[in-house]
Amino acid sequence: MTLPEPPYLPAPDDEAQRALAAPLLAAFAARLSAVVPVDALWAHGSLAYGDYRHGRSDLDLIAVLPAVPDGPTRERLAALHRELVEEQPGAAKLHCSYLPREELGDPAAVHFTFAQDEPMERPVTVITRRELLDGAVVLAGGPPAALLPPVTDAALHAHIRADLRDYWYPVTDRPEPWRRDIWVDFGPVTAVRATVALREGRLITKREAIARLPALDAPPGLAEDIAARRYGVPPVLTPEERTRRAEQARLFTRLLIERALDRRR
């Protein structure tokens, strides 16, 4: 399904945006290999799938390592990330999960990750694996298909339904998070992307999700509001406007999730 793009979305410029990220990615790849042996380094998310916006989008990376990084190695990896941020503030958006070869086949296993300015443990999810297999940017080593097992549509759909049911739907019971821009931006867009994945068996970009919002009966102005923060100048809202927008985004996200789960129970 292809929809005409609305006027509030700028002309695509993926290649130009990716070129802006290239120096940071090259510096990270070179310095990473000096810290730890790396079998492969891949980018997924918007950089690979399309609609990367330099300075606004995260740089989502997966490094495949020969073994689970031990404590000292984790400290060196964290130090590398922090040094890059000190040298290049844009590196704060560079996030990397370190996936050991022995856990390539387990989407539930958690791995050392540096993201949001801190070390953490999180899995390389089914959605991430599908993104990688569909079209990763290979920064070092071989392609994902040479190392990762396939992700079936059934596995993708089961993961999406569980994420909607167990994480996103409960959040729509709580009005307070939706006063923040990040929830207004992520909630409706995530629900649209999930809807398309369940209906059509494919993953779409945030850009396509924003373009689909009006056709899915989004409240008037919500798509323009989200697009302005991603592509242009964020609007300044009064407290009353923020409260109204929060409720609209929350209830619309809840409605999309209910539709998606009803269809796929």
**pLDDT digit string, tens, across residues 206-223:** 999 999 999 999 999 999
**pLDDT digit string, tens, across residues 224-265:** 999 999 998 888 999 999 999 999 999 999 999 999 998 444
What would the 3-class secondary structure string for the chain be?
A: CCCCCCCCCCCCCHHHHHHHHHHHHHHHHHHHHHHCCCCEEEEEHHHHHCCCCCCCCCEEEEEEECCCCCHHHHHHHHHHHHHHHHHCHHHHHEEEEEEEHHHCCCCCCEEEEEECCEEEEEECCHHHHHHHHHHCEEEEECCHHHCCCCCCHHHHHHHHHHHHHHHHHHHCCCCHHHHCHHHHHHHHHHHHHHHHHHHHCCCCCHHHHHHHCHHHCCCCCHHHHHHHHHHCCCCCCCHHHHHHHHHHHHHHHHHHHHHHHHHHC
Whether the pLDDT of residue 25 is over 70: the answer is yes
8 confidence band (pLDDT: 50, 70, 90): confident
**pLDDT digit string, tens, across residues 43-80:** 999 999 889 999 899 999 999 999 999 999 999 999 99
85 sits in the region (left: phi over 0; alpha: psi -120 to 50; else beta) called alpha
